[in-house]
Every structure is written in structure tokens, then in C-alpha cells.
């Protein structure tokens, strides 16, 4: 009886073993492909949220940030026959350490990702090997088809699928949308062709002028639409993890402060003219040196200009002349005007920005106001400065710059309406006078190279010394390095665009030789691109 029970137990164990083995055979061999597909499907569903993220497009529909399927290679480790050899062959193709791959192949897994985002060449070479247990799948991911173009503007999506920097960061929640539907698509004011040309010009400046950094902003001064926002250096958002310097992710035009130098003088002049303290024809005598307390103000190159009008002060960029205009206005009113030009506040643009309260300038010392009159000792971003110029261009009214023109919420379009302030910062008459002065600057001074034949162009250069503090050096005063800039607009009396070019420490004496040629080339491109009718005929 005992023997019969033992045999029955053994038979039961044997039958159970056969059932288990049969089931494993069915799962791993007969239904193996099905279960691999199911696991892969589970992986893709994990990316469901990313698949629904809204996409970003330039003004005319060119893609900036889109969702695509990336190829990946994975292993069903139980099927890999020679793990050592397979790891070596894969390592030779996909540039992943052999030992790392081997660890993955040793795992008891039906689905072990070996590498994501394979190139076409990698896929082709792996397929040719026909390795047992090695398969291909797809993963939905964010892709930036323009690569480095407008990279600081785009930002990127990190490994946790969170938007970082640029538009990806600022509009993260809008791009995400709701889980049950696709996120919102963004359509920008930025023109792909103008952006491309601006970045090419900065790249050329890096080669020819050895700039350490640079920015170009192109804006419609009447609406605030940003037509281009170019930075140098830039990076590839598809490979953001390879960037060592995180400062590269910041958009310098909105997040880095600088002292503008003489490009600020038209704001000083506009303030003094608007209050009736000077006119474009008001004369003063320059002696080359101006003593203020224990400090001394001199002109570039220690020049002595003698008797000059306020228009000639701008034409020749005379520091002491700017101080004269500020002194006629008075410190209190000057401070009030600078504030009204929006230089102590954020611009309201729809990407991350910073600003300075300029506490040192506001302390009220005479030398601080004198220096600020010609753009030293007062800090701002490039975006704040170009916005301030919109006051002069736009008959005394300030605009709010913006980048996203339309938001598409599953077919429901929301358009951004341009914001032009009701307040008159300077009178239309003052604005018109300053525009004419700036046309004279381009026509009669060092800025002649900014001219575009057949068109009235207005503008002003700026060359400012870079303070040690801006270079993160614990030392008072200014270094030998310079910021060189030019702001210009055309056609001057009915502007279609305003351009700011700012270069960090170019190998050139002044902006005449660095920023102006870049402005000219970009302005000429835009005029031709927009087919803007000429102001006058050029006679041979």
C-alpha cells in the first residue's frame, strides 16, 4: 500500500513537470513572438504621454520640435546563443561598452533594451549580422530636425519628459495638454529663413572676428513680433546630455545682462528732447574732458570735438555730449524716463527672462547718471534694449515682444494679439525727431556701412567695456574686453523691422567694424526677402 502511494506521488510530480515544461515551451517558442510584441507594446504605451505632446513650428510651418518613432535594439536574452560574441559584435557597431551589453544579455529577460535612438547605419549593420535573440523596436521621442538652429529658443525635453529651457520649458504645460488628447501645437512668429540667416552671420563672426558670444534679435517694432532670436554659441537639443556648460542652455538675449554703451545715447537724447531741454540743433562745446566729482569722463580715443549739435553728438558718438543732454534734463527726470522705457522691468516676452533693478545706478551719484547717459554702469538685456527702441520707432508707444503667434488646441486656434501700450512715453514729434537724427547717424558718420542703397536706414552703434564683475572676476572697474552692438531699423520712416546685433569681445576696435557689417547683410537680406519697395532711386 505504501509503495503504491509513493508511485502515485512520483507520477503526479512527473505529470506536473510535463505540464510546466509544455507551458514554458508554448510561451517561449510557439507564442514567443506574441509575448515579445506584448512586452514591447507595454513599453510603447509607457511613452503614450510623450506621443501626445504638442509640436512646435516656425512661422511658415517648418518644424522646430516634433514627435517621431526612433528605432531601438533589444535582446531576448534567453535566445542569445553566444552572449560574449554577441556583446562584442554589438559593441563594435553601436559604440556601447561590451561589458555593459554583456550584463544586459545575462539578465533573464524577454525584453532588454540595448540602445535607443539608433542611426540608420547602425540598424543596417545589426540586421546584416542576423544575431539570435536580437530584435528591433520603436520608441516615441522628441526630435529637433533643425538641430542647432534656434536651439536656445527651442529648449529640450529631458529624460523625465519635462520641458527644459526655451519654449519647451516655458510652454511645458500647454504642450503637454490633457492625457486624453494631444497637446497644443505652437506656431511661432519666428521666420525660419531670417533665423537661419542671422545664425549664419553669427557663425561667420565666430570665424572672422573670434567672438566669444553673440546675439541677433529681429523684431517687428509695431507689433512686437520676434522674427529671429539667434544666439552664439548654440547646441543640439537632440544631444543636450552631452553639453557640459549649462549656461549654453540659457537664451542670452533674455537672460544675460550687459552694459550697452553708446547705443543707449538715443534714449538719453529722446528723453531730453521730449522734455524740451534740448533740440536736435542745440549746440554745446566739447573740451574732451568732463570732471564730475572725483571722476573724469572722456570721449572715445580721447577726442576733442569742439562745438557740436545734439545731432552731431549722436553722429560722432560723443560721450560728453550725452552727459550734457542728461544734465539739461536733470537726474530725477532722466531716471523717470529710463524707467518708462521699460529698462527696470521684464519685457513680458513669452520665454524665461531676467532683468536688473540697477540699484547702483539708482543710488543717485552724479557720476552714475553721467555714465548711464552713454550706456555704462547701467545693465539690461538685449531684449529690454530693443523693446526700448520700439518707443522711438513706434511714435512714442512701447510694445510687448512675443514669440508664439498661434496655439492650436486640436483644431481650435488661439491667436496672440499684439500689445501696444496706451501710454505715450515720448511724443510722436520727439520720436520723429530722434528717428531723423538716427538716419543722419547712418548717413553722415562711422555708421555709413549700415546703409542699404535705395532705403533710409536709421541706427546707432555701441561699444562698451565689459566690467570685471560681468566676467565673474572679483575686481572693481572694467576690463579691456568689449561688448559691441548696433541697433538699426528700415525703412526708417515706416519700419518693417528693427535689428539688434550684439557681439561679445570681437577682434575689432569698435562696432563700426564688427556689428555694422552684420546688420547691413541681414537688413539687405530682409529687404529683398520681403520685397520692400525702395524709398528713393539710386542714380549711378
Alpha carbons 510 and 501: distance in angstroms, whole number = 13
Residue 81, phi then psi, degrees to nearest 5: -75, -50
Q: How far is the C-alpha of 331 from the C-alpha of 356, rounded, in Å?
A: 19
Q: Is the pLDDT of residue 6 over 70?
A: no
Three-state DSSP state, 345? coil
> Mean pLDDT across the stretch 116-128?
89
Highest mean pLDDT among 172-186, 188-202, 458-472 belongs to: 188-202
pLDDT at residue number 140: 85
pLDDT of residue 33: 46
Task: Give the SS3 label for residue 481.
Answer: strand
pLDDT, residue 3, reads 60
All 3 cell numbers of residue 3?
509503495
- Choice among 89-93, 178-182, 272-276, 346-350 with the minimum mean pLDDT: 178-182
Query: Please, how many CA atoms are within 13 Å of residue 359, restricted to the half-sphere of its CB?
Result: 0
Q: Which of 62-66, 181-185, 262-266, 367-371 has the lowest mean pLDDT?
A: 181-185
Residues whose CB falls within 8 Å of the CB of residue 45, separated by 6 or more in sequence, listed in order:
none
For residue 403, count other CB atoms closer than 10 A to its CB: 23
**What's the mean pLDDT in 45-63?**
77
Question: Would you state the pLDDT for residue 477?
Answer: 85
- Cell numbers found for residue 339: 524707467
Contacts 24+ apart (CB under 8 A), 200-209: 201/518, 201/521, 201/522, 202/230, 202/231, 202/232, 202/518, 203/232, 205/232, 205/503, 205/506, 205/514, 205/518, 206/232, 206/233, 209/503, 209/506, 209/507, 209/508, 209/514
A 10 A CB-CB count for 9 gives 10
- Give the per-residue pLDDT at 431: 98
Q: How far apart are CA 338 and CA 212, in angstroms?
A: 29
> pLDDT grade, residue 36 (50/70/90)?
very low
Distance, in Å, from the CA atom of 347 to the CA atom of 521, rounded to the nearest integer, reads: 27
Element (H, E) at 187: strand 185-188
Q: Is the pLDDT of residue 26 over 80?
A: no
Give 263's DSSP letter.
G
Residue 46 has a pLDDT of 47
Mean pLDDT rounded to a whole number for the chain: 90
Q: Give the closest residue to 402 by CA, choosing from 167, 193, 172.
A: 167
Give the pLDDT confidence score for residue 28 in this predicted structure.
54
Q: What pLDDT band is residue 8 in, cutting at 50, 70 and 90?
A: low
Percent of residues, the chain, with pLDDT higher than 70: 90
pLDDT at site 15: 67
User: Measured between alpha carbons, how far is 137 from 104 in angstroms, rounded to an integer?
Assistant: 16
Confidence band, pLDDT 50/70/90 cuts, at residue 129: confident
Indicate the pLDDT class of residue 410, thresholds 50, 70 and 90.
Answer: confident
What is the per-residue pLDDT for 83?
85
Going from N- to C-terminal start, the domains of the chain cover: 50-89+113-123+135-188, 194-402+415-530
Please compute, for residue 393, the number of CA atoms within 13 A of its CA located in the half-sphere on the CB side.
30
What CA–CA distance (Å, rounded) separates 280 from 283? Answer: 9
pLDDT of residue 50: 47
Burial of 379 (0-12, 13-18, 19+ CB in 10 A): buried
486 with 516: CB under 8 angstroms? yes
Number of residues that this document lists for the chain: 540
Label residue 369 left, alpha or beta by phi (over 0 means left) and psi (-120 to 50 means alpha): alpha
pLDDT higher at 483 or 37:
483
Give the DSSP H/E element, type plus range, for residue 178.
none
| Packed helices 83-94 and 98-105: angle between N→C axes, nearest 10 degrees | 130
Q: What's the pLDDT at 39?
A: 42
Q: Copy the grid coordinates of residue 515.
A: 556689428
Of the pLDDT bands very low, low, confident and very high (cuts 50, 70, 90), residue 469 is confident
- Highest-confidence segment of 24-33, 50-59, 513-522: 513-522
CATH architecture, domain defined by 194-402+415-530: 3-Layer(aba) Sandwich (3.40)
DSSP per-residue string spanning 147-175? TTTTHHHH-EE-TTS-EESHHHHHTHHHH
Q: According to the model, what pLDDT value does residue 2 have?
A: 54
Strands (E) in 194-279, as ranges, are: 213-219, 226-232
Q: Give pLDDT, residue 539.
A: 61
- The listed CATH number (3.40.50.720, 3.30.1490.20, 3.20.20.370, 3.90.1310.10) that belongs to domain 50-89+113-123+135-188: 3.90.1310.10
**Can you give the pLDDT at residue 4?**
61
**pLDDT in the model for residue 372:** 96
Residue 193: exposure state from Cβ atoms within 10 A (0-12, 13-18, ≥19): middle
Q: How confident is the model at residue 38 (pLDDT cuts 50, 70, 90)?
A: very low
pLDDT tens digits, 138-181? 888 899 999 999 999 999 999 888 999 999 999 999 999 876 67
- More confident position, 175 or 445: 175
Alpha-carbon distance of 290 to 114, in angstroms, equals 71
What pLDDT is attached to residue 476?
86
Locate 471 and state its grid cell: 566676467
Percent pLDDT > 90 in the chain is: 68
Alpha helices in 46-82 (DSSP H): 48-51
Whole-number Å distance between alpha carbons of 74 and 138: 10
> Is residue 308 pLDDT above 60, yes or no?
yes
The pLDDT value recorded for residue 86 is 87
Give the tens place of pLDDT for each residue, 206-247.
Answer: 999 999 999 999 999 999 999 999 999 999 999 998 899 999
| C-alpha cell read off for 288 | 574732451
pLDDT at site 5: 61
Q: What's the pLDDT at 388? A: 98
- Using 50, 70 and 90 to split pLDDT, how confident is the model at 447? confident
Amino acid at each position: 500500500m505504501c509503495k503504491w502511494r509513493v508511485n502515485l506521488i512520483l507520477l503526479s510530480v512527473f505529470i506536473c513537470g510535463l505540464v510546466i515544461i509544455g507551458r514554458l515551451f508554448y510561451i517561449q517558442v510557439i507564442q514567443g513572438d506574441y509575448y515579445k510584441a506584448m512586452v514591447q507594446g507595454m513599453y510603447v504605451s509607457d511613452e503614450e504621454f510623450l506621443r501626445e505632446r504638442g509640436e512646435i513650428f516656425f512661422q511658415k510651418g517648418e518644424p522646430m520640435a516634433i514627435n517621431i518613432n526612433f528605432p531601438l535594439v533589444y535582446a531576448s536574452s534567453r535566445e542569445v546563443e553566444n552572449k560574449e560574441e554577441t556583446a562584442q559584435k554589438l559593441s563594435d557597431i553601436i559604440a556601447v561598452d561590451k561589458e555593459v551589453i554583456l550584463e544586459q544579455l545575462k539578465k533573464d529577460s524577454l525584453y532588454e533594451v540595448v540602445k535607443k535612438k539608433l542611426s540608420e547605419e547602425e540598424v543596417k549593420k545589426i540586421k546584416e549580422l542576423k544575431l539570435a535573440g536580437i530584435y528591433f523596436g520603436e520608441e516615441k521621442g522628441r526630435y529637433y530636425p533643425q538641430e542647432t538652429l534656434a536651439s536656445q529658443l527651442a529648449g529640450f525635453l529631458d529624460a523625465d519628459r519635462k520641458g527644459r529651457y526655451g519654449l519647451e520649458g516655458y510652454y511645458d504645460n500647454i504642450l503637454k495638454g490633457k492625457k486624453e488628447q494631444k497637446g497644443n501645437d505652437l506656431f511661432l512668429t519666428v521666420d525660419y529663413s531670417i533665423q537661419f540667416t542671422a545664425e549664419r552671420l553669427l557663425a561667420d563672426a565666430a570665424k572672422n572676428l573670434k567672438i566669444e558670444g553673440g546675439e541677433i534679435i529681429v523684431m517687428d517694432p509695431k507689433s512686437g513680433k520676434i522674427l529671429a532670436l539667434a544666439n552664439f554659441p548654440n547646441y543640439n537639443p537632440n544631444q543636450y546630455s552631452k553639453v557640459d556648460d549649462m549656461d549654453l542652455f540659457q537664451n542670452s538675449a533674455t537672460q544675460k545682462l550687459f552694459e550697452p554703451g553708446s547705443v543707449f545715447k538715443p534714449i538719453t537724447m529722446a528723453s531730453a528732447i521730449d522734455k524740451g531741454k534740448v533740440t536736435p540743433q542745440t549746440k554745446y562745446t566739447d573740451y574732451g574732458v568732463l570732471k564730475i566729482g572725483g571722476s573724469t569722463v572722456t570721449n572715445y580715443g580721447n577726442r576733442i570735438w569742439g562745438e557740436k549739435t545734439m545731432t552731431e553728438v549722436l553722429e560722432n558718438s560723443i560721450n560728453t555730449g550725452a552727459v550734457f543732454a542728461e544734465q539739461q534734463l536733470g537726474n530725477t527726470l532722466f531716471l523717470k524716463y529710463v524707467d518708462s522705457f521699460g529698462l527696470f522691468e521684464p519685457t513680458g516676452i513669452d520665454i524665461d527672462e531676467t532683468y536688473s533693478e540697477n540699484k547702483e545706478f539708482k543710488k543717485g551719484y552724479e557720476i552714475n547718471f553721467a555714465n548711464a547717459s552713454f550706456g555704462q554702469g547701467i545693465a539690461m538685456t538685449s531684449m529690454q534694449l530693443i523693446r526700448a527702441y520700439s518707443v522711438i520707432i513706434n511714435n512714442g508707444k512701447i510694445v510687448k515682444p512675443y514669440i508664439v503667434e498661434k496655439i492650436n488646441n486640436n483644431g481650435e486656434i488661439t491667436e496672440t494679439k499684439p500689445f501696444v501700450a496706451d501710454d505715450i512715453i515720448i511724443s510722436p514729434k520727439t520720436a520723429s525727431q530722434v528717428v531723423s537724427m538716427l538716419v543722419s547717424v547712418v548717413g553722415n558718420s562711422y555708421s555709413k556701412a549700415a546703409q542699404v542703397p535705395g532705403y533710409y536706414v536709421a541706427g546707432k552703434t555701441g561699444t562698451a567695456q565689459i566690467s570685471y564683475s560681468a566676467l565673474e572676476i572679483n575686481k572693481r572697474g572694467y576690463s579691456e574686453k568689449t561688448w559691441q552692438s548696433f541697433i538699426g531699423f528700415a525703412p526708417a520712416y515706416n519700419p518693417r523691422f528693427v535689428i539688434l546685433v550684439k557681439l561679445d569681445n570681437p577682434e575689432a576696435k569698435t562696432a563700426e567694424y564688427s556689428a555694422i557689417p552684420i546688420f547691413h547683410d541681414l537688413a539687405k537680406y530682409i529687404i529683398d526677402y520681403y520685397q520692400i519697395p525702395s524709398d528713393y532711386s539710386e542714380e549711378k
